[in-house]
Structure 1
Amino acid sequence: MTPREVAALLAYVVQLDPRLALDDQAAAAERLTQWCDLLSDVPATAHGWDAARVARDYIARNPYRIQPSDVSRPWHTHKADAMSRHVGTFEPTAHPEVDPDDQYGNAYVAALRAERHAIAAGHQAPTTHRALTAGPAAAVVERRLAALGEYMPRTVAQALAEYRPVRAERERLARENAPDPLTVACTWCKAAEDEPCRGRAINPRNQQTRYRPMGKSHPCRVEDATAAQLTRHTTQEAAA
């Protein structure tokens, strides 16, 4: 902070806590010098930081008279936290003249240092990566995936349902937690898992046999899928 900013902060502090008021001009000048010395490397405002707010919070929560260290210590803690959350990469689009692959070039090192200094000074927010597999972000991801579907928005999937009836039927069964026959192989037509049941047709001219996909599964396959789902549920309840 500049001496002018420190003087403004001191005036604000005295306004909040009149006990700090000084009638002696020499004592007031000495206090201003002390605060300027200890707050010379502390910004008045920065990204996520406001010295006046820190001073106000201290006065509101502590019965003791505020000292300049009560502002400088929180700033250094704030700066250390920002640097620890920064992933250490700069945004290449902000430096089009820098080759990000030339990690030993002077331009790259200078840009990287400038970015870290900007974050340390509070002029720039740290670049962080949020975990997607745990914590609050995981819930956000789950809600987003539930709204969009696995590969496409549900509105698009509904529009395409008539063109891919097998997939649409499997999605319906999954939503209803109903047995999916395609999760097991068919013992009647020998269709493999994830493949639809096959119907046999014989060409009357040459007696050749061919197979065509069926829209519905054979009853024995539905029964096997129901039994398999019941077994899984029983196993899960026993494990719980």
Structure 2
Amino acid sequence: MTPDQIPELLRNISYADPRILPDDPKERRGKVAMWAGILADVPYDYALQAAQQHYANSPYPLLPADIATQWRATVRDRLNRHTDPTPAADPDNPTAWRAELLGTRNAVATGRTNPVEYRAITSGDPHPDVAASLTGIGRYVPDHVRQQLAPYRPLRAERDAAIAAGRPDPLAVKCSWCGAPVGEPCRSRVVNPDGAATASRRRKPHPSRIDAASHMEGAA
């Protein structure tokens, strides 16, 4: 807001609160200068609307800080909801790139442009083409690589096949028989001829673990 707009703002506010305008001309000039400094970044229309809202809810005199505080909160909210679009300027020209970026943010902050919000992809059901792409995002091993590795990872391949077929995943629960933790294959205890006991990985999970996984799936 320019200093020339402050007298008009105070005059319009005085229609709701005559106390806003001092009778003494010198005091009035000082008040105009003070308000102009505090409200330098606030658009005139916003300040007038803020004054109207103030007197619609409060009988107390309006202070310039009331308008400035509300304006900063509005700017902060707009920028928090804004996602910077890619500037059209040449990225090899950092000066033009930065100028366009700052210009867009300033337009959003002052209300000349609405915030650009990229949230449509998370609202509702995505397009089938998008959904198909999303299924692979976040996977460490893509599906086609899993198929190529299947002969070298039989346990992993069997687990993937069970999940794909809708069968319970035994490795999703701890084995009560051998104590194998979640995600680890079952173990068998083997006693060597010298009497020493070792544990070896089982190709198939223990039956009790399969039952536990079935019960867990049924409960879900």
Q: Is the 8 A contact 1:90 1:115 kept in 2?
A: no
Q: Is the 8 A contact 2:10 2:20 kept in 1?
A: no
- Equivalence for 2:38: 38
Deviation at 1:131, TM superposition (A): 4.7
- Equivalence for 1:158: none
- Equivalence for 1:72: 68
- Equivalence for 1:10: 10
Amino acid at match of 2:84: G
Counterparts of 1:52-67 in structure 2, within 5 Å, are 52-67=48-63
CA–CA distance in 2 between the matches of 1:103 and 1:74?
Answer: 39
- Equivalence for 2:106: 117
1:108 matches 2:97: yes
Deviation at 1:122, TM superposition (A): 3.1
CA deviation map 1:54-108 (0-9, x unaligned): 111111211211001111111111111111111012463xxxxx23xx3773332
Does the residue aligned with 2:15 lie in a helix, a strand or coil? helix
- Equivalence for 2:47: 51
CA–CA distance in 1 between the matches of 2:87 and 2:105?
Answer: 12
Q: Is the 8 A contact 2:79 2:108 kept in 1?
A: yes
CA–CA distance in 2 between the matches of 1:81 and 1:129?
Answer: 16
Give ranges in structure 1 of 5+ residues lacking alignment. Answer: 93-97, 152-234
Q: How high is the sequence identity, in percent, across the aligned residues?
A: 31
Distance verdict in 2 for CA 1:105–1:24, change over 3 Å: closer
Q: Is the 8 A contact 1:103 1:109 kept in 2?
A: no
Does the residue aligned with 1:42 lie in a helix, a strand or coil? coil
CA–CA distance in 2 between the matches of 1:124 and 1:5?
Answer: 23
CA–CA distance in 2 between the matches of 1:62 and 1:90?
Answer: 44
- Equivalence for 1:189: none
Give ranges in structure 2 of 5+ residues lacking alignment. Answer: 130-217
CA–CA distance in 2 between the matches of 1:90 and 1:10?
Answer: 41
TM norm structure 2: 0.51
Distance verdict in 2 for CA 1:38–1:32, change over 3 Å: same
Q: CA RMSD in A?
A: 2.8
Q: Runs of 4 or more off by more than 3 Å in structure 1? A: 103-106, 130-133
TM norm structure 1: 0.48
